[in-house]
Amino acid sequence: MPRDIHKIRNLGISAHIDSGKTTLTERILYYTKRIHAMHEVKGKDGVGAVMDSMELERERGITIQSAATSCEWDGHHLNLIDTPGHVDFTIEVERALRVLDGAVLVLCAVAGVQSQSITVDRQMRRYNVPRLAFVNKCDRSGANPMRVTEQLREKLRHNAVMLQIPLGLEAQHDGIIDLIRMRACRFLGEHGERMVWEEIPAPLRHEAEARREVMLDAAAIFSDELTEAVLEDRVTEEMIWAALRKGTLDREITPVFLGSAYKNRGVQLLLDGVVRLLPDPTEVVNEARDLADEDERLFPLSNLATDPLVAHAFKLEDGAYGQLTYVRLYQGKLEKGDTLFNSRTGKRVKVGRLGRMHSSQMEDITEAESGDIVALFGVDCASGDTFTGGKRISLTSMHVPEPVVSLAVTAADNKSENNLAKALQRFTKEDPTFRVETDPETGDTLIKGMGELHLEVYLERIRREFGAVVEAGQPKVAYRETITRAVTFDYTHRKQTGGSGQYAKIQGRIEPLAGADFEFKSLVTGGSIPTEYIPACEKGFRAMLPRGPYVGYPVQGVKVLVEDGNFHPVDSSDMAFQAAARGAFRQVYPQGRPIVLEPVMLVSVEGPSQYQGEIMGTLMQRRGIVVGTTEDEGFVRIDADVPLAEMFGYATVLRSGTQGKAEFTMEFARYAPAPAAVCAELEKRWAEKRAAGEH
């Protein structure tokens, strides 16, 4: 049976490591009767939580890959997309964010809003995802959900509104006071499955009333009906929910729920909140590009099951069920036996089997409709592909950053060599920020990615899941080069060695270009270069980009304008114009004052205020530019731009400098000019290589 689209909730659960996301997910699956026993993340009983499907994750106690799992609550279908908690795997997080319509931000009642919550929140903001907050671990000593709510307001600038207050905290945490119902709730039974509603205990009555008033004030902004009802004292629960829902969907408020997943408190009420407050698929606008259109125009997807199919493959998984592809349907209908068109490859694939994952159990289904998330079996594609009924449509291309770090891997023996190849093939399909290349100089296999940890995790997987014995080299930074000022070229390519000659002349400019890798434009008029040779010119310039003349690194940020030229009716050819373009580029590029660019990371370090000086010191030593400091209640967050080349091994240094009390996150920020010493060093190395006749 297809699902009623208004009763679907595609949601992500996003959190800082250790705030209990996996435990919360487990409890959700338990209460929605998808699993029948509960385990802890770090697997005291050796079984481990179901969502952590990878061995490595289980060991580290963190969730790396996003898995989608379905369950039902209160007549609604929930698709949980488990977003990874670690920012090094940004593309994984961002891919998950693309397909979800709403999210639950899990926060620890003790640690509060940590640096990683800030990074994750920033990503959600980028994708306009409406959020609920769940303040977990209210049973821990030091728990203070009010303070966490305050931090949501102050640090993340959310209009956070508590819908509940705790019935006791720390060891006394016993339940929740629901400010909408104005009743207290206790969770009885072995797994808290029996909810008992009772009067609010007298000592908490006053606080509950005060907090309810704050909540009503915040909600009333979104509903005139509620505003009037408050004045006339005839507020109903439905009115409050409706107003809160409006505020949440507009991303104007963040409702705050609380409890303790571990102690089985508050999870059911959070689920009620998910169903009532987060959007259904029709309430979110998703756009796609029409590739058949010249401008690749964007158009909104309809969500209608009766329209042609548009589905997005957001995750590949290879496991017990073979190759699974998770897709989100944005419009149309998908049936078992259908033939789908992959608009990237132009190939057609048949859907032999269709399923829905319930954590690790698969349910076979025969059809699915718009809004849903399902898994296809044995379909060959890459993650990020768009499937349609036949039209060339692509979902708004997700921003895929270029890898910034690389390292060489070598297999110890033949068997490992084979397994390594298999592993690399798989990973490149799964993760667009993970690339594999062969070093043209050494012949080594290079793996490239977004950070040290990113590559480390893949190395571990190569060793464990694929049983390959491999050795890894030192991580290396991916430099780029560019020019800093405009230069003009006037170049003639001429060759006369018997037979037909070669002749091409081109004139124009090469300019620095901000915010893009390369642009080519022809301003040629009057046929001084015949139109058919213009693409050859572009091809010639492009051929120079992978290896820049300055230090041999890829060139980025240049714009080429061809303005004039000349040709010969017999001797001009594609080849000749390509050669002219290459020659022109080589000739004038050095006059453009070329520089080396290095990847710079946005590093956020958070720790107790007293370590401000030490933290700053560690960043300064790494050529960091300390951008800013945020102070808050004894904690300080320092944001800095630091060259990636200086960040290897930073975790250890930071830990020892702050007695393990500070933590950091980093994200690729941009390419920035490298210091003169780095330029000189690379220039020297490149000159030596060229002198040795290698290039």
CB of 142 to other proteins, least distance (A): 19
CB of 163 to other proteins, least distance (A): 24
Q: Which residues, 6+ apart, have CB-to-CB distance to 546 below 8 Å?
A: 554, 555
- Nearest Cα neighbor of 586 from 541, 529, 522 is 541
Cα 473 from Cα 578, distance rounded (Å)? 37
Kindly identify the residues of this chain, within the stretch 194-233, that bind other proteins according to CB under 8 A: none
Q: Which residues, 6+ apart, have CB-to-CB distance to 381 below 8 Å?
A: 313, 316, 325, 342, 344, 345, 349, 387
Q: Which two tokens stand for residue 609?
A: 């205020």
- Nearest Cα neighbor of 133 from 256, 244, 14, 18 is 256
CB of 133 to other proteins, least distance (A): 18
- Nearest Cα neighbor of 577 from 510, 519, 531, 545 is 531
Nearer to other proteins, 485 or 695 (CB): 485
Nearer to other proteins, 284 or 679 (CB): 679
Kindly identify the residues of this chain, within the stretch 626-655, that bind other proteins according to CB under 8 A: 626-633, 637, 639, 641
- Nearest Cα neighbor of 104 from 267, 327, 238 is 267
Site for other proteins contains 625 (CB under 8 A): yes
CB of 144 to other proteins, least distance (A): 16
Longest dimension (CA), the chain: 105
Cα 589 from Cα 685, distance rounded (Å)? 19
Nearer to other proteins, 115 or 445 (CB): 115
Can you tell me which of 617, 687, 688, 695 binds other proteins, judged by CB under 8 A? Answer: 617
Cα 505 from Cα 619, distance rounded (Å)? 51
CB of 557 to other proteins, least distance (A): 8
Q: Which residues, 6+ apart, have CB-to-CB distance to 648 below 8 Å?
A: 452, 475
Q: Which two tokens stand for residue 451?
A: 């950070």
Nearer to other proteins, 99 or 595 (CB): 595
Can you tell me which of 613, 659, 660, 685 binds other proteins, judged by CB under 8 A? Answer: 613
CB of 665 to other proteins, least distance (A): 14
Nearer to other proteins, 314 or 550 (CB): 550
CB of 44 to other proteins, least distance (A): 40
Size of the site for other proteins (CB under 8 A): 29
CB of 49 to other proteins, least distance (A): 34
Kindly identify the residues of this chain, within the stretch 319-338, that bind other proteins according to CB under 8 A: none
Kindly identify the residues of this chain, within the stretch 508-547, that bind other proteins according to CB under 8 A: 512, 514
Site for other proteins contains 566 (CB under 8 A): no
Site for other proteins contains 18 (CB under 8 A): no
Crossing angle for the helix pair 202-220 and 224-232, to the nearest 10 degrees: 140
Can you tell me which of 595, 654, 678, 682 binds other proteins, judged by CB under 8 A? Answer: 595
Can you tell me which of 206, 485, 684, 685 binds other proteins, judged by CB under 8 A? Answer: 485
Cα 544 from Cα 536, distance rounded (Å)? 13
Site for other proteins contains 554 (CB under 8 A): no
Q: Are 551 and 596 in contact (CB under 8 A)?
A: yes
- Nearest Cα neighbor of 615 from 651, 662, 652, 660 is 662
Nearer to other proteins, 89 or 671 (CB): 671
Kindly identify the residues of this chain, within the stretch 142-181, that bind other proteins according to CB under 8 A: 154, 157
Site for other proteins contains 385 (CB under 8 A): no
Q: Which residues, 6+ apart, have CB-to-CB distance to 484 below 8 Å?
A: 512, 592, 593, 594, 595
Nearer to other proteins, 324 or 595 (CB): 595
Q: Which residues bind other proteins (CB under 8 A)?
A: 122, 154, 157, 484-485, 512, 514, 595, 597, 612-614, 616-617, 620, 625-633, 637, 639, 641, 672-673
